[in-house]
Structure 1
């Protein structure tokens, strides 16, 4: 179809335009600055009258918004710009999709949320579609996600707001795909869709996931009472607080929860796990397989495996069509020796353990066929004296007996530990 996308150079708009073109749609980018040469460009500014758009447009997707902390345009001007765009869509007999915000509300603490709510009323009255995304993340480090990622990367701690605000993340590619689903469903009109994780997560957890899965760093959590922030806003004043971004923080603190399960079901969308989405490719499953390879090979070799063995393990699984990890438990990643609790016939022959048994066999075959495995399994290390060998044998025997006793005591928890290592759920 022929799509006009305002804000096509923005964080969400750029991803949406790229995906739309890859799926065969003709994209017209309506932006202030020239967009990608891959699309037809139509100059568009919220503060100016609506231009004459090319004929034949079937869907208008409105993403452009004033997100600056200055006073470039007033909220009234932004609402009027949306109204003129709705009128243009009506004249072109095109459908209208407005990308709003989870903060949209008549009593929102930020002008941004109030403006989005006012535009929503006009869109729904005209039979258009409103999309309220949750906390958008992933892909290029732009928008609010880019700001948060930069802060996590530069600052050695992350704030833990008390009481804790909760967000409903959605990967930018999942959001773009959901919008295109609406584009391709002409029967949907005059409706509102909430798009975000079904189960909200704390804002601290969201920042922690950025630190661990995007920045790959450990950040110290520091409690920040919301009362102190309110006091700071009063001291600084409304204007300065807006420039410093404190209004955005309060938008998160007072964020209303969305019921997104019904919207996602209607669109047939399943959101990717947040840990996967934080990967730059948006598909973190391969990294999860690499981590699984390190765990299994470290357990078998009793030392950190060579990178070549890790890559070989992942290639075998990918060729076998097993792209999701089985071992994803944080405990197993930290202490691979805990696999001893699972490496017994009771667990491996159970329904839950069949996948682990197969992967252990794959890892064992790769390890045995390597020089590192030969040293570990065949003992091709330097010769030891009789006394040293005897002491080593005694130590190994004591450790084996200790682990046998521990296994008997902890075996009831082994399956529970394995279940924890299942695939990451939507977050």
Structure 2
């Protein structure tokens, strides 16, 4: 952009992640106007403290010129808020970045369903398997997976998405020229080779200082529709990303873990505090029914995830206890009066087959009566495990064959 230089200068003058940049954009406009203001004019804005005015006045345009030169030399795009490629998701967060240094192609990102997976660097086999499988399934469904390129859960998430030939976005807490973490050097190359993106708001030469990670984490949350915390102890940067997600009105999901496993304490606490429990990929995708981008439809999601699931041997799960189906005479009259819904004209087996509904989902659909019921009794009648039943219900909901009601109950429907 013609004034990209001044956006780089503005980020240098105010610091990455500064919420004052939002006021500059909103109240002053082009950063060049701020650059040309006198000290008196800066004071008159009422935006800046004396120390900030001093920093603005002393910020050297030559540093911005050097970063612009280095960007061109390494083939890195400089994306500013007035660029058509600037991620729309980042325009509604506090402290929106004034400049993003980007390797790869950002085009199309605003039409994609981006989900961020994060977790501890000191991950266990369980954490890495969960991250890799969830990322693989999400990418198979057509989603873009974002993470922070760190060793552990982040690495596994990127790796899982790439294994499914999916697109991945890596956000750095340092300059693009800094080889950090060195263990992810090959991963970064693979992300770019598969059409993904490496992105940072930190200038060339900026090393990964401790406070940079908190600044970066707000972008990990902001770039996505939701954040999945895969494995996190009580003190973890992943929890910091989850807090940013809550502040930014993004969805927060958490993978459950053993109650005595300290590496899962943060996840379990998130679930206790209201984060959505992740049982499988459907637990995530069901939140976006009706909100899939144009490139993703329900048939594609079900087909791709079902196909992906054939490559992985499922872990044995405990089956649900059998619950007898209540007769109509056992229903409370008041409940019937409150929730009576005209029965939907339900498609037959042939129609379900044409839609591509899986065998498990058809079994569960057949178990649905004319009154709303919970997943557990439905699973018992259909002969499915709890996890299979939840996956089947989500599949049916994607096809418009069931409606989810308050209280975790479901009612049969028919596709429009």
Q: TM-score, normalised by structure 1?
A: 0.27
Larger radius of gyration: 1
